[in-house]
Amino acid sequence: MTRSVPPYRDNRSSDQPVRHSRRFSDEIVEEACRVFQKRTDRKLTHEDGRQILENLVGFFSTLHEWDHASAKPHHEGGPSN
């Protein structure tokens, strides 16, 4: 079982990038902000964009794990027909 680490939350009010996380380029974070800004009235920060991307990666990783687990054959006492 994979241990989940809670995401880092930057509670600063500034829009400065979090420098400890280089998982995503500044350009892709800015693009995420542009895409998702259309869906909220609140001004999205660089940190908001980074968290959006982290959540999307987590969501699709979970779907991939579920798909991989469901594709494994079930051996419960013999072959199934």
Give the per-residue SS3 of the chain.
CCCCCCCCCCCCCCCCCCCCCCCCCHHHHHHHHHHHHCCCCCCCCHHHHHHHHHHHHHHHHHHHHHHHHHHCCCCCCCCCC
pLDDT of residue 54: 97
- Residue 73 is predicted with a pLDDT of 76
* Boundaries of every domain in the chain: 26-69
Quick check: pTM over 0.85? no
Per-residue confidence (pLDDT) for residue 17, from 0 to 100? 53
pLDDT < 50 positions in the chain: 1-3, 5-6, 8-9, 12, 18, 20
Please tell me the predicted confidence (pLDDT) of residue 22: 77
